[in-house]
């Protein structure tokens, strides 16, 4: 089923990723137009007519489309071209060098997510060449969106496109980053496919009190009032909510684990037993924290300010709180949960907000992903993932698109690698990169034949 030149894929995807890493698109400032121009030139060579749309000077988004038969609505491949900053002094090889050492391509964006951009570029080329060579066209248009600005929220990227040019990217399904990493629990291998993503509802709390001299304390001090609220917020778990993705995640992991662990995992689905069951599971502390944040809305205090001089009691103190909300909840629901913890002396002011999203776990695309992974990794299980952080998925989901995050990373190569995302020494193996192209090619091919 692979086009005749598939054996060139390894060289092509490697070369594109090296070049993309060398184009520094650290956001801010972004300058994604330099990547967009590179992608446009490659696509034009293949006969595409890609569009570059600037949301602000230098902040470019690229959209390209391969026409299918139109029997089914389009599939969107979505990605972002910006990266987070890097501190070169902490890297073994330069973060914008794109150098290859021992089979790994090094650089900022090697995983998040210029690797997926390079992969999607190769996919667009392969499907175009197949069609030009006379293979029957896909039943869906294949749209590619390489957007700017994901790392600071996507307002100038996917969010801007969804608002200003929805007709260009409107699709029934989308494939995004956010899932795909392989990992092990016990002896069993899993690949995550992101089906849901938490939203955010951030806020600021302000406590007021009486000013005064630091040498003469009183009973109405803003910092103390605020500290009491922060303590309640930080130490009181919010109510448990079992989403569809969480339930199916637990079901599918439990179904492949030994009986005693399976039983412990299933107990997590009972809100009355969740905390106790989680504490007793033989998992790492990080795994437990992640499971906990998959089952609750959370409110994490992150920025604290108040006072300017050590001998002056300030009349005001503030804290900013990173609120994260589950699919099915909006800001009003969230406020209902946190209000009782705030007390009466603290004012609440909402900051930025992004809705959560959840795509159906039982869907044709999820089934194709599962089937393709079975042929490559027969012993592995694909499980749905509720991402507690954020991607561009929410912008695209707002158009009614079912977004799935699947950027495969081989489980045996993953330990440690995924931790280099946004950290030092980010890198990906050429083998993993090629594996990603092959699996995603098959996923797109089969899904667009259905």
Interacting residue ranges for Zn ion, rule: CB under 5 A: 112-113, 177
Whichever of 82 and 413 has its CB closer to Zn ion, that residue is 82
Whichever of 27 and 267 has its CB closer to Zn ion, that residue is 27
Whichever of 205 and 407 has its CB closer to Zn ion, that residue is 407
* Beta bridge mates, 206: 318, 347
Shortest Å distance, C-beta 177 to Zn ion:
5
Shortest Å distance, C-beta 109 to Zn ion:
9
Whichever of 159 and 314 has its CB closer to Zn ion, that residue is 159
Whichever of 113 and 365 has its CB closer to Zn ion, that residue is 113
Query: How many Cα atoms occupy the beta-carbon half-sphere of 439 within 13 Å?
Result: 26
- Give the CA diameter of the chain: 86
Whichever of 113 and 385 has its CB closer to Zn ion, that residue is 113
Shortest Å distance, C-beta 35 to Zn ion:
14
Burial of 259 (0-12, 13-18, 19+ CB in 10 A): exposed
Shortest Å distance, C-beta 187 to Zn ion:
30
Shortest Å distance, C-beta 444 to Zn ion:
20
Shortest Å distance, C-beta 418 to Zn ion:
12
Whichever of 149 and 177 has its CB closer to Zn ion, that residue is 177
Shortest Å distance, C-beta 147 to Zn ion:
10
d(CA 137, CA 394): 30
Q: Tell me the C-alpha to C-alpha distance, in Å, between residue 346 and each of 208, 211, 288.
A: 7, 16, 32
Burial of 80 (0-12, 13-18, 19+ CB in 10 A): buried
């Amino acid at each position: 089923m692979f086009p005749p030149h598939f054996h060139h894929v390894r060289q092509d995807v490697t070369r594109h990723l090296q070049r993309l890493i060398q184009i520094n698109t650290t956001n801010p400032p972004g300058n994604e137009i330099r990547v967009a121009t590179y992608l446009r030139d490659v696509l034009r060579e293949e006969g595409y007519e890609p569009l570059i749309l600037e949301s602000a000077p230098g902040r470019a988004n690229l959209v390209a489309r391969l026409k299918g038969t139109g029997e089914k609505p389009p599939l969107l491949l979505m990605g972002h071209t910006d990266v987070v900053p890097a501190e070169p002094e902490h890297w073994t090889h330069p973060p914008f060098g794109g150098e290859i050492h021992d089979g790994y391509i090094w650089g900022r964006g090697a995983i998040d997510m210029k690797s997926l951009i390079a992969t999607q570029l190769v996919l667009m080329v392969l499907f175009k060449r197949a069609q030009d060579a006379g293979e029957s066209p896909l039943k869906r248009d294949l749209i590619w969106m390489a957007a700017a600005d994901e790392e600071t929220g996507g307002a100038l990227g996917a969010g801007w496109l969804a608002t200003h040019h929805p007709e260009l990217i409107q699709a029934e399904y989308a494939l995004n980053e956010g899932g795909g990493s392989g990992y092990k629990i016990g002896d069993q291998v899993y690949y995550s496919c992101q089906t849901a993503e938490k939203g955010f509802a951030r806020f600021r709390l302000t406590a007021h009190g009486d000013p005064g001299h630091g040498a003469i304390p009183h009973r109405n001090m803003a910092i103390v009032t605020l500290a009491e609220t922060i303590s309640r917020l930080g130490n009181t778990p919010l109510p448990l909510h079992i989403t569809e993705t969480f339930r199916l995640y637990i079901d599918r992991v439990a179904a492949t684990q030994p009986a005693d662990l399976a039983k412990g995992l299933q107990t997590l689905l009972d809100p009355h037993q969740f905390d106790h069951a989680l504490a007793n599971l033989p998992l790492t502390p990080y795994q437990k924290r992640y499971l906990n944040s998959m089952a609750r809305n959370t409110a994490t205090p992150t920025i604290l300010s108040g006072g300017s001089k050590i001998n002056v009691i300030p009349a005001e103190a503030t804290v900013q709180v990173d609120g994260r909300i589950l699919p099915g909840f909006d800001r009003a629901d969230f406020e209902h949960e946190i209000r009782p913890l705030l007390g009466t002396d603290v004012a609440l002011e909402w900051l930025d907000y992004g809705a959560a999203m959840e795509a159906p776990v039982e869907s044709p695309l999820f089934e194709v992903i599962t089937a393709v992974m079975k042929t490559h990794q027969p012993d592995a299980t694909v499980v749905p993932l509720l991402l507690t952080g954020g991607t561009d998925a929410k912008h695209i989901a707002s158009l009614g698109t079912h977004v799935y995050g699947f950027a495969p990373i081989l489980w045996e190569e993953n330990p440690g690698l995924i931790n280099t995302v946004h950290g030092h020494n980010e890198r990906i193996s050429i083998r993993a990169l090629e594996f990603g192209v092959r699996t995603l090619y098959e996923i797109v091919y089969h899904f667009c034949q259905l």
